[in-house]
Structure 1
Amino acid sequence: MLRNVVVTLVLLAVNIGHATAGEIRVLAAVAVKDPLDRLAQTFTRATGHKITVSYGLTGPILADIKAGKPADAIVLPEQGKVALAGAGLLDKPVPVAASLAGVGVRADSPTPDVTTLEAFKAALHAAPSISYTDPKSGGAFGQYLGRALAEIGMADEVARKAVLVAGSHLVVVKVANGEAALGITFKSAIVTTPGLKFAGTLPRPLQDREPFTAGVLNNAQEPDIARAFVASLTTPEAAAIWTDLGFAPGLMPH
């Protein structure tokens, strides 16, 4: 498998047209950190090009780009892609993966039933504390979840026992250290955190997945390297890495 990854990326690198190794800067949602770190390292080993990734929440990343922060490529959820494409800042975005959203608890805790909307609401009612991304922090999923809780009539109750954080990577920390009994975040964050278990995806009609898109920014300083890197995120070998870390390669249909 590793040999196939290297061969694929070397072929991509041949088409870049750079005689010497270069460097690109990527702005990415913190939710994709685990797979993107591995994919960036693999690309660098195969091509010699350095990938510097800065992770954050979607809202602040969009603000940085619109303010002129230098970057060559992005890996962001749908909200970010739409905003950048609508502003004419993104060139030919491509789907790379989708992360399932659901519920995580400590491995030594009972597994709550979240298979139906009523069961999910009962689990929220029973949990003494619940961690999720603060909708005001700028995270796309946190903003969605805030609206969803209001729509199902649970916003006030959940808010009274909420352990709010700035990103999915911190939700799992709060659950793992016992500050929250239950966490609502991406499956990828839950399954890669020692001591946690994935109770299940959010039930319909709630959104249970978050698609992520990669693209080259129109003002990229190294557009050829950036395009090759984006292309490397959609290879069959990359799909194996996305899958291994709790994502579904490409965009999952609703």
Structure 2
Amino acid sequence: MNNLERNLNILSGGAAQGLVASLAPAFKATTGLDIAGEFGAVGVMADKLRRGAAADIVILTAALLAGLAEEKFVVTASIANVGRVETALAVRSGDPKLSVTTADDLRAALLAADAIFVPDIKASTAGIHVAKVLAQLGIADAVADRLRVHPNGATAMRHLASSDAKRPIGCTQSTEIIATSGVEFSGPLPQGCELATMYTAGVTVHAANATAAERLIELLTSTDARDLRIKAGFASR
């Protein structure tokens, strides 16, 4: 058995990384396999699969996974919803939480920040949405030099945690905030600016470990894992 066969290879949006990690021990206990692969901006992960990256399972937004199924990269019948993830605000641990309940509150919070940590604004779910919200609020130009853009939400949150800025904030998916030490969840984006994204999992057409991939999907979506999903930042399906 080669290294690829000893591991379940995954390509996933960063939103699912914490949940997958919490289920890894149970998965190994039932399959004998470790979980390997990459977590990152969903658009980047989808393109990796298209370019031939080895993967048994993908966990991406529902829209992306449906597209990959149409393109014959993912087995349509295997696709299952994991849960919705909100795009949210983050602060460094120890910094005051933000009080944001309206679009005007959000505009004020962003204008008051001297550094705004976000994921890729062209390839990540949250980053694309942040760019849209900044334009919607009419402050894209005003805060452009304060944006600290990183390849994915997890990386952005790690940099927020270590930032020496006076008033830094972050914006990415709630699951990535919750999974990162040194930052704290500070609430979802307000009505009119909000985004809740459904994440789905599916087995790839060329999976070397299709049965194990199906097992991980069972774990991710099971009733028994409901509390783990909520703890990781997923809303109920």
> TM-score per shorter chain, which class?
0.7 to 0.9
2:60 to 69, 76, 86: 76
**How far is the alpha carbon of 1:223 from its aligned partner?**
2.1
AA aligned to 1:207 is E
Are residue 60 (structure 1) and residue 36 (structure 2) matched? Answer: no
| Letter aligned with residue 53 of structure 1 | G
Secondary structure at the residue paired with 2:86?
A: strand
- In structure 1, what is the Cα distance between the partners aligned to 2:179 and 2:196? 17
SS in 2 for 1:221: coil
Post-superposition offset of 1:160 = 2.0
User: Mapping of 1:176-187 within 5 angstroms?
Assistant: 176-179=161-164, 181-187=168-174
Residue-by-residue CA offset, 1:182-227 (whole Å, 9 max, x unaligned): 1011222223333432221101112332221101112223322222
Q: Does the residue aligned with 1:135 lie in a helix, a strand or coil? A: coil
Q: Which residue of 2 aligns with 1:129?
A: 115
Q: 1:119 to 1:58 in 2, by over 3 A?
A: same
Tell me if structure 2 keeps the 8 A contact 1:78–1:213.
Answer: yes
Whether 1:191 and 2:175 are equivalent positions in the alignment is: no
Q: Distance in 2 between matches of 1:106 and 1:24?
A: 34
- CA separation of 1:182/1:230 partners in 2, compared to 1, >3 Å: closer, same or farther? same
How far apart in 2 are the matches of 1:52 and 1:110?
A: 37
Question: What's the RMSD between the two structures over aligned residues?
Answer: 2.0
In structure 1, the residue matched to 2:11 is 27
Moved more, 233-242 or 184-193: 184-193
Q: Distance in 1 between matches of 2:50 and 2:180?
A: 33
Partner residue of 1:171 out of 126, 146, 156: 156
Provide TM-score, normalisation by structure 1: 0.82
Deviations 1:146-198 (A, max 9, x none): 12221221211221211111111122222211245110112222233334322
Q: Which amino acid aligns with 1:143?
A: I
Q: Distance in 2 between matches of 1:224 and 1:166?
A: 31
What are structure 2's unaligned runs of at least 5 residues? none
Partner Cα separation in structure 1 for residue 125 and residue 45 of structure 2: 11
CA contact (8 A) 1:90 1:217 kept: yes
1:88-130, CA deviations, whole angstroms, 9 ceiling, x for partnerless residues?
A: 3222311112222211112332322211111111111111111
User: What does residue 226 of structure 1 align with?
Assistant: 213
SS in 2 for 1:232: helix
Q: Does 1:112 align with 2:74?
A: no
Say which is worse superposed, 171-180 or 70-79, in terms of deviation. Answer: 171-180
Task: State how far apart, in whole Å, the 1-side matches of 2:33 and 2:127 are.
Answer: 34
Query: What is the number of residues matched between the two proteins?
Result: 229
- The 1:72/1:179 distance shift into structure 2, 3 A limit, reads same
Asked if 1:86 corresponds to 2:75, the answer is: no
> What secondary structure does 1:203 align onto?
coil
How far did residue 50 of structure 1 move? Answer: 3.7
> Structure 1 residues 229, 197: closer, same or farther in 2, change over 3 A?
closer
Identity of aligned residues (%): 27
Are the structure 2 counterparts of residues 50 and 162 from structure 1 closer, same or farther at C-alpha, using a change threshold of 3 Å?
closer
User: For 1:161, which of 146, 169, 176 is the aligned residue?
Assistant: 146
Match of 1:207 in 2: 194
**What letter is aligned with 2:131?**
G
**1:38-62 Cα distance to aligned partner (Å, 9 max, x none):** 2132111123234323222222221
AA of the residue aligned to 1:167 = N
